[in-house]
């Protein structure tokens, strides 16, 4: 979960079944392909990962990195013009929507499964009983803390809501807030609120419940205490990270993709733990990360080779290599635990993804509607326009 997505465009496209027989591909119509096209929203830093599998398969690659905000609209255009790439990377909440359009082929066609991966991977990438994507690595969010500030205050990292609230109050001094998170009116705001909602038993099918009200009330209490800045309603996750690095927040919720910036911050000593829950039970956080899929290009040779390529990316060995390049967590349970043991900075994320939940696990392609309701309610409550209960009731009743 790093970039916003064009859900509206996807939803519109989901209504258009795609007839893709005879689409262009990079291989011959039979046998095996010697080259593949790949499309993602990464940067060239990801290329060494691709090149390792290309070398293993004896093929060449044409890699097309596009802007994250433009990927889905581009995919839809390519589907219409029958110019889909051989291998397509998607943010995992988009997989079911694109699969619904008919643009993807089931990975069982290539003998692939999510066996051995954390459970949420299969749920996120399965549509109507068929697996369409595999995630070599994943991520989630955790509670980072400033070791010096907590040590000076005699505080150990919190495990419950009560501890988090008390610690945040104690750590709030001068221009430093005790706690920071993103409550922005985008999917990032929803993403950061989910551990509180899900961890308290809330559910996206109906957010107008006591469990979700309690979660939103807790979020509001941190602001009411003065422990969380009122500006959090305007902060994206990068802004939250900047506050933490600048010493203006003693604790923050964020992901492992911030580690390069955190490690580069001079004098900053930090660590992270799973996000506290009301009772100290295991955190239920959203599953992040991108999936690799094989589009229905109509070129069977290319699709077969693309299936082998996706399978190569998802081997335990390549997952571990990928984690080293990207800073994420291998999705294979055994590989992830080994990775966490040897890389303490991501240990909290390794723990969190074991019990992570797929955002599309319950509602599938309708998830964006629920996500919009959730961040709308958070905004209404934190800006004082409605009580948490009224905000959730109002947001739940809105139609999209």
* Helix axes 210-224 and 388-397, enclosed angle (nearest 10): 130
Give the separation between CA 220 and CA 391, rounded to whole angstroms.
12
Q: What is the mean pLDDT of residues 393-398?
A: 95
Give the separation between CA 96 and CA 121, rounded to whole angstroms.
12
What DSSP assignment string belongs to 174-194? TTBBS-B----SSHHHHHHHH
**pLDDT recorded at residue 30:** 54
pLDDT at residue 99 greater than cutoff 80: yes
Count CB-CB contacts under 10 A for residue 399.
5
pLDDT at residue 8 greater than cutoff 50: no
**pLDDT recorded at residue 400:** 60
Count CB-CB contacts under 10 A for residue 216.
26
Give the separation between CA 327 and CA 33, rounded to whole angstroms.
32
In the β-sheet with 35-40, what is the strand arrangement from edge to edge? 60-65, 35-40, 87-91, 290-293
Nearest Cα to 216, choosing from 34, 400, 394? 394
Exposed e or buried b per residue across 26-48, where buried means at least 16 C-beta atoms within 10 angstroms of its C-beta? bbeeeeebeebbbbbbbeeebbe
Per-chain mean pLDDT for the chain? 92
- What H or E segment, with its residue span, contains residue 170? helix 161-171
**pLDDT recorded at residue 398:** 87
**pLDDT recorded at residue 1:** 57
Q: What is the mean pLDDT of residues 142-159?
A: 98
Q: What is the mean pLDDT of residues 88-99?
A: 95
pLDDT at residue 188 greater than cutoff 50: yes
**pLDDT recorded at residue 12:** 37
User: Which CATH topology does 142-286+364-397 take?
Assistant: D-Maltodextrin-Binding Protein; domain 2 (3.40.190)
**pLDDT recorded at residue 16:** 37
Query: Angle at Cα 262 formed by Cα 256 and Cα 267, nearest 5°?
Result: 150
Q: Are strands 137-138 and 329-330 parallel, antiparallel or unpaired?
A: antiparallel
Provide the sign of the torsion angle of the four alpha carbons 386, 390, 392, 398, taken in this order.
Answer: negative
Q: Note whether 162 and 234 are within 8 A (CB).
A: no
Q: Note whether 313 and 156 are within 8 A (CB).
A: no
Q: What is the mean pLDDT of residues 108-137?
A: 97
Beta strands in the chain (DSSP E): 35-40, 60-65, 87-91, 126-127, 130-131, 137-138, 142-146, 251-254, 270-273, 290-293, 329-330
**pLDDT recorded at residue 32:** 82
Give Cβ neighbours of residue 9 (< 8 Å, ≥ 6 apart).
Answer: 72, 73, 76
Please give the radius of gyration of the chain, using alpha carbons only, rounded to the nearest integer: 21
What DSSP assignment string belongs to 363-386? TGGGHHHHHHHHHHHHHHHHTTSS
223-270 tens-digit pLDDT: 999 999 999 999 999 999 999 999 999 999 999 999 999 999 999 999
**pLDDT recorded at residue 46:** 95
Q: What is the mean pLDDT of residues 13-21?
A: 36
pLDDT at residue 69 greater than cutoff 60: yes
24-53 tens-digit pLDDT: 444 444 578 999 999 999 999 999 999 999
The domain locations on the chain are 35-134+290-327, 142-286+364-397
CATH number for the domain whose boundaries are 35-134+290-327:
3.40.190.10
Q: What is the mean pLDDT of residues 131-137?
A: 98
CA torsion, ordered 196, 197, 198, 202, to nearest 10 deg:
150
Q: What is the mean pLDDT of residues 344-358?
A: 95
């Amino acid at each position: 979960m790093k970039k916003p997505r064009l859900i509206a465009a996807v939803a519109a496209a989901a209504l258009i079944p795609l007839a893709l027989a005879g689409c262009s591909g990079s291989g011959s119509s039979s046998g095996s392909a010697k080259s593949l096209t790949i499309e993602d929203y990464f940067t060239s830093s990801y290329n060494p990962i691709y090149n390792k599998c290309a070398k293993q398969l004896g093929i060449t690659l044409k890699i097309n990195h596009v802007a994250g905000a433009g990927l889905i609209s581009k995919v839809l255009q390519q589907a219409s013009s029958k110019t889909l790439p051989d291998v397509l990377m998607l943010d995992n909440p988009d997989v079911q929507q694109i699969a619904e359009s008919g643009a993807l082929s089931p990975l069982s066609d290539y003998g692939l499964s999510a066996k051995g991966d954390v459970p949420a991977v299969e749920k996120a990438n399965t549509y109507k009983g068929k697996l369409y994507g595999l995630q070599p690595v994943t991520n989630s969010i955790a509670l980072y803390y400033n070791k010096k500030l907590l040590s000076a205050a005699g505080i150990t990292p919190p495990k419950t809501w009560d501890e988090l609230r008390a610690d945040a109050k104690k750590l709030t001094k001068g221009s430093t807030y005790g706690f920071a998170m993103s409550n922005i009116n985008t999917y990032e705001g929803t993403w950061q609120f989910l551990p509180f909602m899900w961890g308290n038993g809330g559910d996206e099918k109906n957010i107008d419940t006591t469990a979700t009200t309690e979660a939103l009330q807790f979020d509001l209490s941190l602001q009411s205490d003065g422990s969380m800045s009122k500006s959090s309603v305007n902060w994206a996750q990068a802004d939250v990270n900047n506050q933490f690095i600048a010493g203006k927040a003693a604790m923050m919720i964020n992901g492992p993709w911030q580690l390069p910036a955190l490690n580069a911050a001079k004098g900053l000593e930090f660590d992270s733990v799973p996000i506290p829950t009301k009772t100290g039970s295991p955190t239920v956080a959203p599953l992040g990360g991108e999936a690799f899929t094989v589009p229905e290009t109509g070129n069977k040779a290319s699709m077969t080779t693309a299936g082998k390529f996706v399978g190569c990316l998802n081997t335990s060995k390549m997952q571990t290599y990928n984690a080293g390049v990207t800073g994420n967590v291998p999705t294979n349970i055994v590989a992830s635990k080994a990775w966490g043991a040897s890389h303490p900075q991501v240990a909290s994320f390794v723990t969190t993804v074991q019990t992570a939940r797929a955002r599309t696990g319950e509602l599938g392609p309708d998830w964006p509607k629920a996500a919009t309701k959730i961040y709308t309610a958070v905004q209404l409550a934190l800006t004082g326009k409605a009580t948490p209960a009224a905000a959730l009731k109002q947001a739940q009743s809105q139609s999209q």
